[in-house]
Amino acid sequence: MLVGMLTTLLLLQAAAQVAPIPAKAPSEIVAAAPASDWVDIAPDDLLVMQLAPDRDGNARKVVIQLMPPPFSQPWIANIRTLAKAHWWDGTAVTRVQDNYVAQWGDPTEKKPLPAGMRPTRQADYVVNSSNPQMEHWADRFVQQIERAAQDRTKLPFLPIRDSYAEQATVVNGFPVAGNKNELWPVHCYGMVGVGRNLSPDAGSGAELYTVIGHAPRHLDRNIALVGRVVEGIENLSSLPRGTGPLGVYEKPEQRVPIVSIRLASELPTEEQPHFQYLSTESASFAAYADARANRKDAFFILPAGGADICNIPVPVRRKP
Amino acid sequence: MLVGMLTTLLLLQAAAQVAPIPAKAPSEIVAAAPASDWVDIAPDDLLVMQLAPDRDGNARKVVIQLMPPPFSQPWIANIRTLAKAHWWDGTAVTRVQDNYVAQWGDPTEKKPLPAGMRPTRQADYVVNSSNPQMEHWADRFVQQIERAAQDRTKLPFLPIRDSYAEQATVVNGFPVAGNKNELWPVHCYGMVGVGRNLSPDAGSGAELYTVIGHAPRHLDRNIALVGRVVEGIENLSSLPRGTGPLGVYEKPEQRVPIVSIRLASELPTEEQPHFQYLSTESASFAAYADARANRKDAFFILPAGGADICNIPVPVRRKP
C-alpha cells in the first residue's frame, strides 16, 4: 500500500514534470463561484446612462453601481436626486483625456440644480471614527492587517502592499486604502468620481467622470468617489480624445449627447437591469484575489507574488 | 536687523496663511527643465507606424521608442529587421481589449518572417549578472535603495514602494522593477510588448501590443517588453473594442490596416520625427517624480505621499 502510494506519487511527479496541470485562471475561479457568493446590487444603487447612438446607429448604454455606505453618502444622495429630476437628460460627455478620464455634465455649467441637493464637504472624502459606520469597516481592516502581520503565507492575498497608503484592500465590494484610523475609496479603472472646482468646493455630484487609464491614485482623498462602471465602459473609454486642454472637446458638435440617466429603480420593471458582484467577503473572492496576484494558469511562467489593488477588479455580472 | 528679519518672516507667514503659493505642478517642472536635461532619441530607436486613415480621412500615426540596452535586445534586433524588411506593411491591428491591450501583426499568422531573425528566450525577460551591462544599472539601483534606506526624507522620490517587486524606479528613460540581483522593465500604460504563444515560446517581435489600461504588471517577466508609445497612442487606445474573446475583432473588415511601420532612420530625412525624453538621471526628473508623488499644485488638498511607478510617466516631447 505504502509502495503503491509512493509509486503513485512518483508517477504524479513524473507526470508533473512532463505536463504540469495549470492552476485555475482568475476567470475560472469566478465562473466556478457558487450562487451564494454573489450579491445582488439593489436597483437604487444602479445608474443607467443612455448616450446618443453612435454614427452607425448602435445604442450606447453605461451602467454604474453607486458605492454603499459609509463612503461618499452626501454626493450619492445628490446623484439620486439628480437622476430622479432627470437633470442629466440633454447634457453631454464633454471631456475625454487619454489615460485619464471621460467626464460628463452640463456643458453650460449654468443649469440650475434641482431642489433638495445636500451640501458637501472635503472632510467626507475620507471615513474615520467620526462616522458611525467606520467602526465595522475599520475593525475588518485592522483584523486583516494583524492577521497578515502574523502569518502572511497562510492567508488570502489581502490586504496588500500599496504605493499610496499603509495598506489597500477591498471591503463591501469596493477597493479602499487606509490605515487603522481612516479609510478611503481609491481611483481604479472604471471608478466614478465627482468633478469639482478649486478647494474648498467639493462638487455637488452633477459633474461626473470615470477613470479610463492607469489608476490616478493621486486623486484619492482629493475628490469624492461615488461608484464604478459595471457595464459599457467601452462606450466611454473608446470615445475620441478631446483636443482641447485636459481633453475637453473643442467644438460643441464633438460632445456626446446624454439622452438620459436614470436610477434602475425608476425604470419600468421590464427595463431594469439586474447585476451582482462577487462578495468580497467570500472564499471565492479570496481565491480570485490570490490568483490575480499569483498567476499560474497556462500562459504564465512566473507568478508576480503581488498585485496592486486596482489590478484586482471586483467581478460583476448580469444576474443569471 | 534681526527684528526686521523676524517681521519679514511673520509677514510671510501671515501671507502664507491667507493665500499659500501653490507648488509647481509636474507639468510646470517639465516645462521649466533646461535643454540640457533632455536626451535626443536616436532615429534608430524610433518606430513610425502609419495606420490607414480613419473614416473621416484623418491620418493616424503612432510613434514608438525602442528600449535601450541592456533590456530585451534580441527582440529589439528582430523588430529593426522586420521594419527594414517592411514586414508589417499590409498587416493590421487585430485585437483591442478594454482596459488591457491593443495588438497588431499578421492576422493570418502565416506570413514568413524575414531572414536574419534572432532566436529569443524567456531568460532575457530579466536582466541579471549574466548580462555584461547589468553591473552599471544594478549599481545605480542598489545605490538608490541604500540611500533611500539611510534617509528617505532627503532624497528625491525614487526608488519607490511597489506592489510587485522589492523596489521600482526609472533608469535610462524606462520604468523598471527588481532587486539587487535582477531588473526587469514593467508593463505601464503605453508600453509595447511582444505577443507570444504558450511557453517556452518567447515571441519573435513580429506580433506586438501596447497597454491601453491599468498597468497589467502580472505580465512583467512573463513577456518581453521592447519600448513605449511616445506619440499617437490615442490612435490605438480609442479604437473600438473587439467583441471576440480577448477583444479580437471578429470580422476581418473590423481590423485596422497598417500601411507601414518604419524605423525613423529609414525614412527620408525630411520625414524623420525628432523626439527627446527628460533624462531620468536629471534633477528636473527627480523634482518631477517628487511632484507626481506629492501633488501640491492648486487643485490638490492632500498630497498622496507616494506614487506607483506607472503613475510617473517619463516625459517625452518633440525636439524643439
Phi, psi of A94 (to 5 degrees): -110, -10
Cis ω on the peptide bond leading into residue B107 (within 30° of 0)? no
Q: Would you mind telling me the total number of residues written for chain A in this entry?
A: 320
Does A300 lie at the interface with B, CB-CB under 8 angstroms? yes
In this predicted model, which residue has the larger pLDDT, A181 or B16? A181
Helix, strand and coil in chain A, % to nearest 5: 30, 25, 45
Environment class of B198 (CB within 10 Å of its CB; exposed 0-12, middle 13-18, buried 19+): exposed
For residue A214, give the nearest of B214, B295, B299 by CB distance.
B214
Radius of gyration of chain B (CA): 22
Distance from CA of A8 to the nearest CA of B (A): 27
CA of B189: which chain A residue's CA is closest? A214
Residues of A in contact with B223 (CB under 8 A): none
pLDDT exceeds 50 at position A228: yes
Residues 6+ apart with CB under 8 A from A186: A164, A168, A175, A176, A177, A215, A217, A220, A225, A309, A310
pLDDT exceeds 70 at position B147: no
Nearest CA among B275, B279, B286 for reference residue B36: B279
CB burial string B134-163: b at 16+ within 10 A, e below: beebbebbeebbeebeeeeeeeebbbbbbb
| Direct distance between the N- and C-terminal alpha carbons of chain A, in angstroms, rounded to an integer | 47
Supply the DSSP symbol for B201.
-
Distance from CA of A137 to the nearest CA of B (A): 22
Q: Point out which residues pair with A176 in neighbouring strands.
A: A169, A185
Ramachandran sector of residue B297 (left: φ over 0; alpha: ψ -120 to 50; beta: rest)? beta
Residues of B in contact with A307 (CB under 8 A): 163-164, 217-218
pLDDT score recorded for residue A19:
53
Residues of B in contact with A301 (CB under 8 A): 122, 199, 221-222
pLDDT exceeds 80 at position B62: yes
pLDDT score recorded for residue A7:
38
pLDDT score recorded for residue B151:
53
The three-class DSSP label of residue A225 is strand
Q: Where are the alpha helices (DSSP H) in A100-230?
A: 134-150
Ramachandran sector of residue B318 (left: φ over 0; alpha: ψ -120 to 50; beta: rest)? beta
B294, amino acid identity: N
Does B99 lie at the interface with A, CB-CB under 8 angstroms? yes
Does A214 lie at the interface with B, CB-CB under 8 angstroms? yes
pLDDT exceeds 80 at position A18: no
Do B210 and B233 form a contact (C-beta atoms < 8 A)?
yes
Do A82 and A205 form a contact (C-beta atoms < 8 A)?
yes
pLDDT score recorded for residue B11:
39
- ipTM (interface predicted TM): 0.91
Which of these ranges, B111-120, B132-141, B283-292, B310-319, has the smallest mean pLDDT? B132-141
pLDDT exceeds 90 at position B266: yes
Nearest CA among A224, A98, A266, A218 for reference residue B190: A98
pLDDT exceeds 60 at position A90: yes
Sheet architecture: strand order including A38-40: A38-40, A275-278, A316-318
Do B172 and B141 form a contact (C-beta atoms < 8 A)?
no
Do B147 and B167 form a contact (C-beta atoms < 8 A)?
no
Distance from CA of B39 to the nearest CA of A (A): 24
CA of A102: which chain B residue's CA is closest? B238
B273, amino acid identity: P
Does A234 lie at the interface with B, CB-CB under 8 angstroms? yes
pLDDT digits (tens, 9 = 90+) for B102-123: 999 999 999 999 999 999 999 9
pLDDT score recorded for residue A130:
79
- Residue A264 grid coordinates: 434602475
- Residue B228 grid coordinates: 513605449
What global pTM score does this model have?
A: 0.91
Asked whether the beta carbons of residue B189 and residue A99 sit closer than 8 angstroms, the reply is: yes
B74, amino acid identity: P
Q: Where are the alpha helices (DSSP H) in chain B?
A: 2-18, 26-31, 73-84, 134-150, 234-237, 283-293
Residues of B in contact with A292 (CB under 8 A): 218
pLDDT exceeds 90 at position A22: no
pLDDT score recorded for residue A159:
67
For residue B198, give the nearest of A189, A240, A298 by CB distance.
A298
Q: Identify the residue among B120, B160, B161, B214 best suited for mutation to test binding to A, counting A beta carbons within 10 A and taking the highest.
A: B214
Quick one: average pLDDT of A272-297? 92
In this predicted model, which residue has the larger pLDDT, A161 or A24? A24
Residues of A in contact with B292 (CB under 8 A): 218
Nearest CA among A272, A226, A298 for reference residue A44: A272
Does B189 lie at the interface with A, CB-CB under 8 angstroms? yes
Asked whether the beta carbons of residue A99 and residue B306 sit closer than 8 angstroms, the reply is: no
Asked whether the beta carbons of residue A218 and residue B304 sit closer than 8 angstroms, the reply is: yes
Do B236 and B93 form a contact (C-beta atoms < 8 A)?
yes
pLDDT score recorded for residue B159:
67
pLDDT band, residue A2 (cuts 50/70/90): very low
Asked whether the beta carbons of residue A214 and residue B311 sit closer than 8 angstroms, the reply is: yes
From chain A residues 127-186, the ones with a CB under 8 A of any chain B CB are 160-165
A15, amino acid identity: A
pLDDT exceeds 50 at position B8: no
Q: Distance between CA A136 and CA B308 in Å, rounded?
A: 29
Q: Identify the residue among A28, A301, A312 best suited for mutation to test binding to B, counting B beta carbons within 10 A and taking the highest.
A: A301
Asked whether the beta carbons of residue A292 and residue B240 sit closer than 8 angstroms, the reply is: no
Cis ω on the peptide bond leading into residue A273 (within 30° of 0)? no
Q: Distance between CA A152 and CA A159 in Å, rounded?
A: 10
Across A226-230, A290-294, B156-160, the highest mean pLDDT is recorded for A226-230
Environment class of B11 (CB within 10 Å of its CB; exposed 0-12, middle 13-18, buried 19+): exposed
Residues of B in contact with A305 (CB under 8 A): 164
